[in-house]
């Protein structure tokens, strides 16, 4: 197996939502999971685990649980893009069509990665602030990102969704997730129906990075 | 510039806490920032920004703000490892010594990346649950992880800390971070004093991944 270049992988990692049903070889899955384990975490505690859901009945149940939250999200999102026009709107609509497809066919992905975390094993430094806490995510989403990049390397389509958190208690029961552990990321993976990974659209560095204080664009 | 292999970068990304004061060329910093922008985020909204702090007085102020939370954390962590023995304990003590060094010399790193996020631009799906929310982190820490991996590619030492969230209001004032934006990750970067990145120590896949439900180790 050749190792894809780091920058090449990062710059072509797309959300791929139309997946083939073909099974994923064990060694390929193993490399994706190993990539996740390599990620850093606070105190190197690795306060996460991942469940690889391949069982057909469990995948179907995850799809059933996903549809409701997706429809609600989609309704709100579509209302929010009504004022857009031209290519910007067309792009949003293509994305939404692919996401509709994913919601209907989630169970057909040969594997769904369910990332779990244990907040009791995290030092969450922003719980006392008067705003939503995100720091616990700093010990799990680097692992998720590594897994996504490894999927890119292996030619597997993938996308990160968190909508199933709305059905967390049902997901916990389905997958025997014990007390103290919760869900934070769901990644359906499979070989792509279309061309898969490729060009991505992102804001440039000058819009995302400042030098020494807010507002002074980096590199300008 | 050659592109390091993805798996090579991931498997050798260490927390590097002893950094040289040598400046980082603009093009190198630019590539680290660009790698961050490539990361996925919920709805592709990219609800984060990064401030590259190079100004000496501001770096010194960040160091002053960091020392208190670090000392508190270190005291608790050292109490927690007192029962350990042998190589496990020696390893923890080496890590703590390097982290003490970082706390005393944080301002000597030629650049400190301060990642900010805007929860108003995020769909945080786990706010209604009876446990700490982490999902907002899903739209920022993939970008942080990309930046860390790019540092590895560029030969820059780096480590992720969130301790400065304890001084968020002071950091916001120092860097003119506007209302609605908050801090979630601080990454001092610089060329390493020692050998820098290299071997890492992580739990194996069989301890981190299950198949179809909690407890059934993947690959066994």
Backbone angles phi, psi at A112, to 5 degrees: -125, 120
CA atoms of B62 and B113, how far apart (whole Å): 11
Instruction: List A residues 144-173 in contact with B (Cβ-Cβ < 8 A).
Output: 144-146, 148-150, 152-153, 159-160, 162-163, 165-166, 168
Note the pLDDT of residue B7: 98
Does B15 contact chain A (CB < 8 Å)? yes
pLDDT for B144-181, tens place per residue?
Answer: 999 999 999 999 999 999 999 999 999 999 999 999 99
For domain A6-122+134-208, the CATH superfamily is NADH Oxidase (3.40.109.10)
Report the mean per-residue pLDDT for chain B.
Answer: 96
pLDDT for B76-108, tens place per residue?
Answer: 999 989 999 999 899 999 999 999 999 999 999
pLDDT for A123-155, tens place per residue?
Answer: 999 999 999 999 999 999 999 999 999 999 999
Cα distance from N-terminal residue to C-terminal residue, chain A: 41
**Among the listed residues A96, A117, A127, A100, the one whose alpha carbon sits nearest the alpha carbon of residue A185:** A117
Question: Quick one: DSSP state of residue A202?
Answer: -
- In this complex, which of B52, B176, B205 lies closest to A218 when CB atoms are compared? B52
Q: What percent of chain A is helix, strand and coil (3-state, nearest 5)?
A: 50, 15, 35
Note the pLDDT of residue B219: 87
CA atoms of A161 and A76, how far apart (whole Å): 16
**Residue A45 pLDDT exceeds 90:** yes
**Are the Cβ atoms of B46 and A201 closer than 8 angstroms?**
no
Three-class SS state of B168: helix
**Residue B206 pLDDT exceeds 90:** yes
Which residues have C-beta within 8 Å of that of residue B98, sequence separation ≥ 6?
B15, B17, B18
CA atoms of A104 and A64, how far apart (whole Å): 9
pLDDT for B19-55, tens place per residue?
Answer: 999 999 999 999 999 999 999 999 999 999 999 999 9
Note the pLDDT of residue B220: 76
Which residues have C-beta within 8 Å of that of residue A91, sequence separation ≥ 6?
A201
Beta strands in chain B (DSSP E): 48-53, 111-117, 157-158, 182-190, 209-211
Report the mean per-residue pLDDT for chain A.
Answer: 96
Note the pLDDT of residue B55: 98
Note the pLDDT of residue B138: 98
Q: Which two tokens stand for residue A33?
A: 């999971």
Note the pLDDT of residue A3: 84
Note the pLDDT of residue B141: 98
The distance of A25 to chain B (nearest Cα, Å) reads 12
Note the pLDDT of residue B3: 84
- In this complex, which of A146, A181, A213 lies closest to B51 when CB atoms are compared? A213
Per the DSSP assignment, residues forming a β-bridge with B161 are B186
Note the pLDDT of residue A220: 76
CATH of domain B6-208: 3.40.109.10
**Residue B16 pLDDT exceeds 60:** yes
**Residue A2 pLDDT exceeds 80:** no
**Are the Cβ atoms of B10 and A201 closer than 8 angstroms?**
no
CA atoms of A19 and A192, how far apart (whole Å): 5
Per the DSSP assignment, residues forming a β-bridge with B211 are A52
Per the DSSP assignment, residues forming a β-bridge with A219 are none
> Residue B33: its chain A contacts at CB < 8 A?
205, 208-209, 218
Domain spans of chain A?
A: 6-122+134-208
Backbone angles phi, psi at A39, to 5 degrees: -65, 150
Instruction: List A residues 126-145 in contact with B (Cβ-Cβ < 8 A).
Output: 126-127, 129, 131-138, 140-142, 144-145
> In which band, very low, low, confident or very high, does the pLDDT at B2 lie, cut at 50, 70 and 90?
low
């Amino acid at each position: 197996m050749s190792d894809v270049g780091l920058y090449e992988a990062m710059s072509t990692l797309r959300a791929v939502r139309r997946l083939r049903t073909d099974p994923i070889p064990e060694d390929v899955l193993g490399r994706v999971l190993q990539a996740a384990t390599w990620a850093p975490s606070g105190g190197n505690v690795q306060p996460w685990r991942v469940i690889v859901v391949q069982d057909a009945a469990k995948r179907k149940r995850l799809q059933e649980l996903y549809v409701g939250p997706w429809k609600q999200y989609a309704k709100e999102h579509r209302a929010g893009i009504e004022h857009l026009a031209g290519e910007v709107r067309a792009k949003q609509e293509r994305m939404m069509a692919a996401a509709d497809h994913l919601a209907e066919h989630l169970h057909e992905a040969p594997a769904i990665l369910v990332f779990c975390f244990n907040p009791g094993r995290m030092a969450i430094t922003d719980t006392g602030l008067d705003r939503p806490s995100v720091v616990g995510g700093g010990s799990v989403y680097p692992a998720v990102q590594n897994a996504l990049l490894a999927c890119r390397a292996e030619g597997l389509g993938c996308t990160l969704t968190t909508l199933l958190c709305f059905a967390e208690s049902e997901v916990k029961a389905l997958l025997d997730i014990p007390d103290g552990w919760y869900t934070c990321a769901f990644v359906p993976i499979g070989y792509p129906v279309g061309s898969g990974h490729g060009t991505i659209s992102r804001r440039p560095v000058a819009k995302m990075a400042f030098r020494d204080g807010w507002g002074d664009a980096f590199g300008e």
